[in-house]
Structure 1
């Protein structure tokens, strides 16, 4: 795993190896600038030779993959892999709770508060807060990487499905749509549409084959609305039969299959909505962004023989001939937020059940800071590294990778990195 390097004036230099970073720290030529991602700052150097790096992004619904890649003549070298775990579901749940509290206040015997629905203005491109959160956190992480490395370009998986290739399979004029990639676009869309299971028996976790609902022998077309996924035995058993005959004994499944087959392509457009907003936000802040489809990403990953993960998918975005360094550990950034401005806790009815301390700092620490606690003796003896939850009494809780360690004195804690709204951990090396 590469280590980010800054010069004496905090300008980004080329990342170095872990061994080189360790030597610079031991010789006193560098100091630790940041723990996650690990960054050192040189004390005796200003400027240096740079190579252009590229940040590649694979947006997802719950997690987004980010990779920093150095493009050479024939091989792309992965320098940094990260996975951002979003908290859109938590934001949606909080907003629903807030709406319930306001609804109750309007209906209770309290001061009347009229609902506000006709005086709100939403700008063009408005997204729900749970979706806007994904855009904001991804843009924030890209900005952080640009401060730590000489990033020259950004590549993003813009759309998961290529609409034109799906609507018109026989389209000509675009080279990749006439080659092997068109099949990946169709298959990826079918996997999403049919829930990655057999449409005829519901089998999951088995190899699935692309199947014509109305067989070609009966005049069926290659349009995506006539395609589904079936396991091998069901595909063999159906053959060229009409689907009404094959599923005559299961009318409920037949009705669901026909209804699912008629779902329009706007479902795929809904999957892509956040990615368009992300592209717009990235271009507004950092300039042009190169965009590619999800079918190309999957094609690259299958051709290169690398395992699937959010971060590795990001490294496979775009035009990739060969890839090395993909087996580096993946840094997981879990979005936790920076706390709440509300100074009370609420019960399930919306009533306050306690008052929080007014001061957010205790003994120089704040909740969310990364600390290292070395407890010399007792039931909690040992070294503990993680995010701290403070108390005014000085007895802290530390959230480590193994669990929560409670009742650690502030005297044993040493600050590693100020809280920035994220929790950090590492995924194991990919097999």
Structure 2
């Protein structure tokens, strides 16, 4: 990917190629400002710089949001932002359960409170707000590093039949030309784009009735699944209990997943308008596009199904031919949060078992910093790069890509990237065009 460049007065300039950035660094004309995303700052100010238009494109998702920066018809930067919304939901549920358990045991007494708590207008649960805040954080960060002139957001999958004929209603509207298309897209997401029976992903997938129509099955979404052609033909009009009589675990999984709603779609639907309104506050022109248009742009250019390429295809501003050869591996951004405000750790019953230090900085480091440790002597001699977990003794643990290394003295550590609530890793070295997609 290209490297972000800032003028000496921190004005964003056009990103440059990595080779150009290495020349600037080697000749002393620039210095590294931050590692993730890689940004350099010039040591001499450029007067009246010329910049070009850059479009920031966003494909919001419940678990992963795709980000891409497009200059003209060229993708110059791509990333996939992994959210922690479901983790926040589980943490809040656990805390609520512990509090309720303590109250039921009557281990302490407090005066009852009045039910005077109010929610502000537009309130969303913390698990949903974290997704919006993550996206807004990166929008703000990228606009400070690159001359962004516009934003594209995938807002909603519009029903084009309703737009063409607003008076259409009843069965004619419910089962129109897009009826089968919407059902298929829904099922592909619900069953994770693989055969429900054998798990195959490298073949054409078909819509399958769990309870056959000849046995009284309906066309309701809860009675539909995705299967490969072989499994579809082998099942035929058998009852699913008979077809999977020798695979009870698969049978139980399919029956439970068939009735499970698409939680990811519900999360995206609940946050899309809030995100759109927040993006408009950036005072940049915001373009919206539909999911159907995104898929059309991606499939027409024969691009694989990835989050960052979906983002690059959002909106009508997408050129007819995208050049993506500059982005070999997208930046994978994982939201980790800033730790917990809990004063002490508790056991499974909610009783305190361990004290948490109040001061988070030890020897100038805090848990979550990315460091490079060069150990010159002892049994652990070597070079280690990764996220650090600090200890008050000054002996740190470093989580590297090869595993956890314990007991590294702070004297051997040096900062690479200070904690900002995110973890970073670059995507697989495998070319994305080898991936299977639907």
Task: Please report the TM-score for the alignment, with normalisation by the length of structure 1.
Answer: 0.81
After alignment, is 6-15 or 381-390 more displaced?
A: 381-390
**SS at 1:377's partner residue?**
coil
Partner Cα distance (1:346, 1:212) in 2: 47
Structure 2 unaligned runs (5+)?
168-176, 211-218, 245-253, 432-438
Match of 1:45 in 2: 45
Partner Cα distance (1:108, 1:265) in 2: 37
Does 2:119 match 1:122? yes
Contact 2:371 / 2:385 at 8 angstroms: preserved in 1?
yes
Structure 1 unaligned runs (5+)?
174-179, 214-221, 240-245
**SS at 2:282's partner residue?**
helix
Q: Within 5 Å, give how 1:8-407 maps onto structure 2.
A: 8-46=8-46, 47-71=48-72, 76-113=73-110, 118-159=115-156, 161-165=157-161, 185=182, 187-192=184-189, 196=193, 204-205=200-201, 206-209=203-206, 231-232=228-229, 246=237, 271-319=268-316, 320=318, 321-325=320-324, 327-407=327-407
Contact 1:330 / 1:429 at 8 angstroms: preserved in 2?
no
Describe the shift of the 1:322–1:286 C-alpha distance in structure 2 as closer, same or farther (beyond 3 A): same
Partner Cα distance (2:194, 2:375) in 1: 51
Partner Cα distance (1:211, 1:350) in 2: 46
Partner Cα distance (1:94, 1:336) in 2: 13
Please report how far the alpha carbon of residue 202 of structure 1 lies from its aligned counterpart in structure 2 after TM superposition. 7.5
Match of 2:434 in 1: none
**SS at 1:275's partner residue?**
helix
**Cα RMSD over matched residues?**
3.9
**SS at 1:64's partner residue?**
strand
Does 2:21 match 1:2? no
Please report how far the alpha carbon of residue 58 of structure 1 lies from its aligned counterpart in structure 2 after TM superposition. 1.1
Contact 2:57 / 2:67 at 8 angstroms: preserved in 1?
yes
Describe the shift of the 1:270–1:384 C-alpha distance in structure 2 as closer, same or farther (beyond 3 A): closer
Partner Cα distance (1:418, 1:248) in 2: 57
Describe the shift of the 1:236–1:363 C-alpha distance in structure 2 as closer, same or farther (beyond 3 A): closer
Contact 1:181 / 1:296 at 8 angstroms: preserved in 2?
no
Partner Cα distance (1:247, 1:269) in 2: 33
Match of 1:242 in 2: none
**SS at 1:50's partner residue?**
coil
Partner Cα distance (1:267, 1:42) in 2: 43
Describe the shift of the 1:361–1:349 C-alpha distance in structure 2 as closer, same or farther (beyond 3 A): same
Describe the shift of the 1:35–1:116 C-alpha distance in structure 2 as closer, same or farther (beyond 3 A): farther
Describe the shift of the 1:92–1:41 C-alpha distance in structure 2 as closer, same or farther (beyond 3 A): same
Please report how far the alpha carbon of residue 132 of structure 1 lies from its aligned counterpart in structure 2 after TM superposition. 1.1
Residues 157-205 of structure 1: CA deviation (Å, up to 9, x unaligned): 112x33454xx698599xxxxxx99986553234235664668x78753
Contact 1:394 / 1:409 at 8 angstroms: preserved in 2?
yes
Residues 98-117 of structure 1: CA deviation (Å, up to 9, x unaligned): 11122123222344457879
Residues 20-50 of structure 1: CA deviation (Å, up to 9, x unaligned): 1111111111111111000000011235100
Aligned residues: 406
Does 2:425 match 1:425? yes
Please report how far the alpha carbon of residue 90 of structure 1 lies from its aligned counterpart in structure 2 after TM superposition. 1.6
Residues 206-250 of structure 1: CA deviation (Å, up to 9, x unaligned): 41235899xxxxxxxx999999756445777999xxxxxx45786
**SS at 1:285's partner residue?**
coil
Partner Cα distance (1:237, 1:366) in 2: 57
Contact 2:235 / 2:243 at 8 angstroms: preserved in 1?
no
